[in-house]
Amino acid sequence: MLSIGDLSKRTGVKVPTIRYYEQMGLIEAAERSEGNQRRYERNDLERLAFIRHARDLGLDIPAIRELIALSQHPDLPCANADRIAADHLTAVREKIEKLKKLEHELERIISHCDGHSIEDCYVIRALSDHGLCEGEH
């Protein structure tokens, strides 16, 4: 039996975050001690590690909730789980594309400033006028 602090130390998930996940329905409400403190077991540890890893990979809470629900039906086909991962990959790629466009424009803007007065600052001018940009964003 682990306290919430023990669980926190072992998984690297902060104590308030564990309570938050319980509230969000990602982990079941834990048993309580006589004094109303949460007590966890080994499988809670695994569950929380799963959640943490999924969050580290950028999945959001509804997606994780769905994956947990799926993982409790081992006989179902895994198409839905695979789709969740694939959709997330697509979203990640779209974010990368957008950020690369920003990176490109910012590089250009910064390199065009000769760094004297605000009056001549290319950063300020470029921000005032999207027409000076090379692409959309």
Partner DNA sequence: GATAATTCCTCTAGTGACTAGAGCTACAAG
Partner DNA sequence: CTTGTAGCTCTAGTCACTAGAGGAATTATC
Judged by beta carbon distances under 5 to 8 A according to partner kind, the member of DNA, its own copies, Zn ion, none in contact with residue 37 is DNA
**DSSP state for residue 35 in the 8-state scheme:** T
Minimum CB distance to DNA smaller for 37 or for 90: 37
Spatial distance between the Cα atoms of 101 and 107, rounded to a whole number of angstroms? 10
27-46: contacts with its own copies (CB under 8 A): 46
Minimum CB distance to DNA smaller for 35 or for 135: 35
**DSSP state for residue 12 in the 8-state scheme:** T
Burial class (CB in 10 A: 0-12, 13-18, 19+), 40: buried
10-29: contacts with its own copies (CB under 8 A): none
Using the rule CB under 5 A, give the single segment among 12-20, 40-48, 67-75, 116-124 that binds Zn ion.
116-124
